[in-house]
Every structure is written in C-alpha cells, then in structure tokens.
Amino acid sequence: MDSQPTAKALHNRINANVSQLLQRFENIMATATVDNSSHASTAVETYQLDVESTALIRAAEDILALTRMMKETWLFGKLDTLGEDERDIKRREKLEDNVLAVQKAIEERGLLKPAE
C-alpha cells in the first residue's frame, strides 16, 4: 500500500458504497413488486433482477474490501483518519514525560539491573 487513504477519501468511498447498496436494493424491490403476466415482461424482470443482484453483491464486496484495507492500515499503524487534536497532543506529551520519569527513577535507584 503505497498511498494511504485520507479520512475524506474513506468517507467518500463509504458513502458511495452505502448509496450503491441502497439504490440496488431499491431497484430489486421495485422490479419485484411489478405485476405482469406476459412472458416477455417476466423475462425482462428476471434479467433486471439478475443484474441488480449482481451489482448489489459487487457493492457488498467493495465494502468488505474497504474494511479489510482499513484493518490492514490500522494494524500497521498507518491509518490516520481522526488526526490529533490539541488535547491528544498534550496527553501524548504528558504520557511520554511520565515514561521518561519512570525510566529515570528506575535507572537511578538501580531497580533494574542490565542483562549480562
């Protein structure tokens, strides 16, 4: 994964996928509720249902691919959809200061002996 997705790109892709799912489902329901008795119209409706259900499956597969990609980037630490606000930066800096203070106290008191 060379280029990492931005939050806006992820939201746009999610919105597009959800709208595709909804549109395809609406099309299936609209086609299924038409009451025709001729063989030709039944054949056309069957074909439309096949096309719409295939497109619905494709949209669901795209959502699954998106979630997989998001999980992979999250696991490898490259997913930054939220970013850090000022509060997060201060909290992280305070945590780093606390870690350094604990490390210094351990080294000064000789609580941890180096591995030999």
Overall average pLDDT of the 16-25 stretch? 92
User: Is residue 1 a part of any domain in this protein?
Assistant: no
Question: Are 89 and 77 in a shared domain?
Answer: no
List all residues 6 or more positions away from 112 whose beta carbon is below 8 Å from its beta carbon. Answer: 106
CB 45 within 8 A of CB 31: yes
Give the residue among 81, 29, 74 at the shortest CA–CA distance from 52: 29
pLDDT digits (tens, 9 = 90+) for 48-103: 999 999 999 999 999 999 999 888 877 877 665 556 667 778 888 898 998 888 88
User: Is residue 2 a part of any domain in this protein?
Assistant: no
User: Is residue 75 a part of any domain in this protein?
Assistant: yes
Q: How many CB atoms lie within 10 A of CB 31?
A: 17
Question: Are 71 and 110 in a shared domain?
Answer: no
- Residue 105 above 70 pLDDT? yes
User: Is residue 33 a part of any domain in this protein?
Assistant: yes
Give the residue among 69, 81, 103 at the shortest CA–CA distance from 9: 81
Question: Are 79 and 89 in a shared domain?
Answer: no
Domain membership of residue 68 as a residue range: 7-83
Question: Are 74 and 101 in a shared domain?
Answer: no
Residue 71 and residue 27: Cα distance in Å, rounded? 31
If one counts the domains in the chain, the total is 2
Question: Are 74 and 89 in a shared domain?
Answer: no
Question: Are 73 and 116 in a shared domain?
Answer: no
Question: Are 37 and 91 in a shared domain?
Answer: no
For the full predicted model, state whether its pTM sits above 0.85.
Answer: no
What tokens were used for 77?
């630490």
Question: Are 15 and 61 in a shared domain?
Answer: yes
